Amino acid sequence: MIGPKRIVFLAKLLPVIGVVLILPPLVSVANVDANLFGFPAIITYMFAVWIFLILAAYLLQRKLPSSPADQSEQFPNKSSRNKSSGNNLSDTNND
């Protein structure tokens, strides 16, 4: 089972993967004189990447925490510890 932190990381990484897959050097690999399903290979490649990104985003969003409150419970950070200790700079008096 993949942990919630890894799911968040993959969700942040997915747009980067999408950009890399549509960069001209990778797209030009599919620029050949061949037809797949009656379409040029480059068009089939672009639609395959598009469908992959949509499906990956759908599957990842199903596993992400549903609300920011759920996420803060699963991923406690330093700011929640600092608030409890009373070290808030906005409370100081500058007179």
Q: What is the pLDDT of residues 17-50, one digit of tens each?
A: 999 999 999 999 989 999 988 999 999 999 999 9
Residue 87: pLDDT band with limits 50, 70, 90: low
- pTM to 2 decimal places: 0.65
Residue 94: pLDDT band with limits 50, 70, 90: low
33 vs 87, higher pLDDT: 33
Give the DSSP per-residue string, 25-80. HHHHHT-SS-EETTEEHHHHHHHHHHHHHHHHHHHHHHHS-SSHHHHHHHS--HHH
List the chain domain ranges.
1-65
Tens digits of residue pLDDT in 48-74: 999 999 999 999 999 887 766 555 666
